[in-house]
Structure 1
Amino acid sequence: MDLLVLGGTEFVGRAVVKAALERGWKVTVFHRGRHAAPEGARVLTGDRTGGAAGLTALDEGRWDAVVDTWSAAPGAVRDTARMLHGRTGAYAYVSSRSVYGYPTPAPLDESAPVVGADGEDYAAVKRGGEVAAQRVYGDRALLVRAGLILGPDENVGRLPWWLGRIARGGEVLAPGPWELPLQYIDARDLAGWTLDAVAAGLGGAYNVVSPPGHTTMGELLEECVRATGSDAVLRWAPPEVVLGAGIEPWTQLPVWMPPGEDHETMHGGDVGKALGAGLVCRPVRDTVADTWSWLSSLTSPPPHRPDRPPVGLPPELEREALAALGAA
């Protein structure tokens, strides 16, 4: 196939480009030129925030499919979808499970209510991108509603933070319970499924994330210890100890949410539709080990998206929580 990737130089987009090249597909990457595209891709540059003037590099050309990873104002999706209509067979928009209304009890499938598309928060702009793609491509628009995304090239910092912290060793605050189920998708599995889906001509919305309980908080952190070869000792703390120390779930302790409504919404999604369409999720051990190998290969700090706040637990907060745990 002849594929156009809008983005394609960081994390998910990069995984899509690499996977397509490995299949022997022809790949064109359209981006702002801030990061190098994977070797083997044809590169076009432009700025989607600049309206029609920023899209002139796309004035000519035909592609079998487009994969769009845009996550800002949906007008960029609207403009490129309109411009490419009639010159591409399929349009896949990498969206998010954040588009569902909150709270939505598990199991949350694709029929659940979604948020409005008029706001400026992450959920609204992702929903706006979906609407923009559907207005142009109708039922042929593939809406890839990803959940938590991990894996090599991560530029948000969640799994890299845990790996870095555990690599330093010593007592590590491990937010429990150990058996807390997690639902995520390796960026490479997301990429592979998306390419299979556009090749098969699929359209509509799909929750693309691992089945609930694909791994647990305990297994994830133990695999971090294994991958790094660290002497770290995981000190498992009940949620009330973590929260009582004033620690913020998800941001200061990446990935983790205590049991309850937030956790059910994030980690209780129904993925039967994607599984039925061929989704396969690799073991957490592979995701963790490959992410550590990637981090270890870097000669500079890992990438971080400028539109996302830093994640991680300040050392002083960790010490206070560990002290409280020891006194409990």
Structure 2
Amino acid sequence: MRLLVLGGTEFVGRAVVEEGVARGWKVAVFNRGTHGVPDGVAALRGDRTAPGGLEALRSGEWDIVVDTWSWGPAAVRDAAELLAPRAASYVYVSSRSVYEYPVAVGADESAPLVEGSPDEAGDPGREGYARAKAGGELAAVRAFGDRALLARAGLILGPYENIGRLPWWLNRIARGGDVLAPGPAELKLQFVDARDLAAWALDAASRQVGGAFNVTGPVGHTTMRDLLTACVRVTGADARLRWTDPEPILAAGVQPWQDLPVWVPPGELYEFLHRTNVDRALGEGLRCRPAEETVADTWAWLSSLGGRAPQRGDRAPVGLAPEVEKALLSGPA
């Protein structure tokens, strides 16, 4: 199989590249060349936001193209239109953010979407992320029709994470001592390991599957207790999880998801993030590794970097300020 990854050096894109290489496929990446590529991977250089920046893609044929673009969807439009005559399948890694919020519990891929345009250019900013992803979907479908596979990912974790969610928890727990653990401890979580997302996308695309899929782990794939306990176990830290109810945490002005990554208290946002209908993806072969494997492999990767994970420039760093954690721990837990 001939695989082209637009990007291919960070997080999901890198997971896709490594999965393709592991399968013995012929893999090429297209990017600006600011990061290295694995051995045996062809490097095509260009800037998809610049005039004439797609010249390196004007020749060549591929079985699968994978695109993880998160900014102005006009870049997806231009690449997809150029590649449509010479590629069999186009995988656009989208997001569940494309759904109009709130989303009814149990809703599937037919739920209403936010408005987006395939012709919007530029950086939409954090507030425009959902609109940008929706526009990217429209661009992919307009060029590839039913040959476009839309992977509406939920929370993505795993090695190479450049958002900082699981790395923050691992680094915090590795420091040891009392750790603020947001409850309820048995709160069920959904996420997908970037490597499982990559494997599923390549499997589905190789079978010429098209259409939209919610791609994350099944409901209750893990819990807050199991996730944080796994962090304690793999780091070997002398850390004590101090489980704390949501009320005092929220009263202290702590922002769920941002200050305490992964966690949101029970409520409307929790239902959206951690009670996703993934029946369609599971039926199409999605398989998710145990959460502890994701935690352990992420810690091994993070340790190889001295604990300093890469950080996307368009995302604010996540994590709870030490003084806020200390203040909360000094109260009743």
Q: TM-score range by the shorter chain?
A: over 0.9
The answer for the alignment partner of 2:12 in structure 1 is 12
Give the TM-score normalised by structure 2. 0.96
Amino acid at match of 1:43: A
Cα distance in 1 between the residues matched to 2:228 and 2:140: 38
The amino acid that maps onto 1:107 is G
Give a deviation string over 1:135-177, Cα, whole Å, max 9, x none: 1111111000000000000000000000000000000000000
Q: Is the 8 A contact 1:241 1:325 kept in 2?
A: no
1:39 Cα deviation from its structure 2 partner: 2.1
Of the candidates 147, 165, 168, which is equivalent to residue 161 of structure 1? 168
Match of 2:277 in 1: 270
Tell me if structure 1 keeps the 8 A contact 2:177–2:238. yes
- C-alpha separation between the residues in 2 aligned to 1:87 and 1:13? 21
C-alpha distance in 2, partners of 1:170/1:228? 13
Q: Is 2:38 aligned against 1:31?
A: no
Deviations 1:31-65 (A, max 9, x none): 111111222210011001114x1011111111111
Aligned letter for 1:297?
S
Between the two proteins, the alignment pairs up a number of residues equal to 325
| SS of match in other structure, 1:54 | coil
User: Which aligned pairs between 1:198-217 and structure 2 lie closer than 5 A?
Assistant: 198-217=205-224
Name whichever of 18-27 and 34-43 sits farther off: 34-43
Quote the offset at 1:324 in angstroms.
Answer: 2.1
Identical amino acids, percent of aligned pairs: 62
Q: Partner amino acid for 1:17? A: V
Match of 1:148 among 148, 155, 162: 155
Structure 2 gaps, min length 5: none
**C-alpha contact (below 8 Å) 1:14/1:38 kept by paired residues:** no
Consecutive aligned runs of 4 or more in structure 1 exceeding 6 Å deviation: none
Whole-Å Cα distance in 1 between the matches of residues 69 and 332 of structure 2? 42
> 3-state SS of the aligned residue for 2:49?
helix
What is the match of residue 87 of structure 1?
Answer: 86
Alpha-carbon distance between aligned partners in 1 of 2:129 and 2:40, rounded to the nearest angstrom:
32
Give the letter for the 1:184 counterpart.
F
* Partners of 1:106 and 1:184 in 2: CA distance: 17
Distance in structure 1 (CA, Å) of the matches to 2:109 and 2:145:
17
In structure 1, runs of 5+ residues without a counterpart are: none
C-alpha contact (below 8 Å) 1:108/1:268 kept by paired residues: no
Deviation at 1:300, TM superposition (A): 7.2
The Cα shift of 1:198 comes to 0.7
**Residue 301 (structure 1) shift:** 2.2
Q: What is the TM-score of this pair, normalised by structure 1?
A: 0.97
Query: Tell me, what secondary structure is at the counterpart of 1:95?
Result: strand
Point out the more displaced range, 105-114 or 41-50: 105-114
Q: Which amino acid aligns with 2:196?
A: D
**8 Å contact from structure 1 (residues 69, 95) kept in 2:** yes
Is contact 1:108–1:265 with CA below 8 Å preserved after alignment? Answer: no
* Contact 1:225–1:232, Cα closer than 8 Å, also in 2: yes
Displacement of 1:271 in angstroms is 0.4
Measure the CA separation in 2 of the matches of 1:252 and 1:195: 34
Structure 1 match to 2:186: 179
* Alignment map for 1:68-79 (pairs within 5 Å): 68-79=67-78
Aligned counterparts of 1:218 and 1:109: Cα–Cα separation in 2: 28
Aligned to 1:54: 53
